[in-house]
Structure 1
Amino acid sequence: MAEYLQPEQMGKVGYEGKLNKQVMTLPEILKNNGYRTYIAGKWHLGGSDDSLPNARGFDRSFVLVPGGADHFKDQGLFQGYPAKYKEDGQVAKLPKDFYSTDFYTDKILSYLKDDRKKDQPFFAYVAYKAPHWPLQAPDAYLNKYKGAYQDGYDAIRQKRLNKQIELGLIPKNTKANNPFADKLPSWDKLTPAQKAEQTKTMQVYAAMIDNLDHNVGRILDQLEKSGELDNTIVMFMSDNGAESSTPESLPVNSIDRVTEQVGPA
């Protein structure tokens, strides 16, 4: 996390701000054993030439180098850390119709289709930035969630709990756990403006997840069509789910800076 290094951490082991050379990466190991190796998406493991994906075992790569950026255009989110995209170690430009999740999928699919010998094994890492902020989604997905989530988080939490009880997933006497009950207001305590903001936030988040699900499906579909799906191990992981903070809250940013970068909500 190079963006947050403190003066007392500079130069210390474990605070390099990039992936160190003390271990081999998985693509380095697999590449040495005949695999073709690919990555598309967020890197955030160092921006120097010796720490980019092409220097750490990936045959082909298209990555967002820093930790965050706009989903639709070449704009950064962190003060002092502009958006920087690189393909195979070289500066890359984004297409006009760029949306991060769609584009990273396009890249991986092109690598899998056009960059291997017949039946050559592969390792593909798709590091989607969605649903990390900024909360942004294509209009076609946003439109699907118009009118949704207006009952508020209290009602939705209880509805989901009831459904899990109905399905037999959890005991009938299970009560909703709300560890923030004494820290965040209940839905009925919010102003109309606050309710509108929270509702819109959830709609956009859901749209991003929906789009992400579609793109994962695109990859599985291509593997199925090529006859490789049953011979492929698929792992889906998420680091921290929904992002609870906003760019404005980060110490590396100021309100004025973020407004300049991503515009009004």
Structure 2
Amino acid sequence: MTFNDCQEAFESGERCPGVYTLRDPDTSMEFDVYCEFDNEHGWTVIQRRLDGSVDFYRGWDDYVAGFGNLSQEYWLDVSSLVVCSLSCLEDKKCVSTLYVASIQECQLFSSCLPDVTSTDGNTDLVYIRKYGVANKYRDCQEAFECGVQVSGVYTLRDPDTSMEFDVYCEFDSEHGWTVIQRRLDGSVDFYRGWDDYVAGFGSLLGEYWLGLEHIYYLTMTNQQLSIYLESHEGEVAHANYSTFYIDGSSNNYSLTLQRMMRLSLTVPAI
């Protein structure tokens, strides 16, 4: 059995320290590491020195390639693609990595890189996206850029504050949309006080309002707003705005909309 990292091995029930095979789900590359486990985590051991049986006074090339025996003393190669990937897995802010082989450089990013679609044929660049149960996104657009295409409930995470909250993401062929309000059948009462509209209410799988505080966080970066309305008679109205944001609580979450990009109205035939 292979795992993405030692933490995934822990979450799969492994508790015995030893050599495990890890597998990169993006490139299918496999490599062995030594995993240590405690009560809460699985740890990837990148260096171990026990009894002096391995000479650590070596040149640069040995430290690039790694040396020793995983069951005894060893060095896992800190500048390699292997540790580059592991560094991202262990960094809560990291979502993707770019490894530059020619200069043995590992670059960590807090988002996916939509313009890096493939590195096939370029042996100098290897691009890796983080996968697994711990994967969370800044917004639904970032989830889309990381390859997510199935609409549903996803957990968003602020990489600076580690704040997390759930949202419903809708995906089309070009975008990932964070649904901030949905009204379907009147099952949720929207006639509420100010505090409820600040905190949010309802069910993400039904009718809900996401909450002004969460919307404020989401619109700290440049966002578009898409409004879709449909009547019981089948009339449809759709509007898109190129700029959308709200201020914080000190300004009572005042709304700014700029430049309507599209307005359409569809009336069913009689």
Say which structure, 1 or 2, has more relative contact order (CA 8 Å, 6+ apart).
1
Select the structure of larger CA radius of gyration: 2
Task: Give the strand-richer structure, 1 or 2.
Answer: 2
TM-score range, shorter chain: under 0.3
Structure 2 length-normalised TM: 0.26
Q: State TM-score, norm by structure 1.
A: 0.26
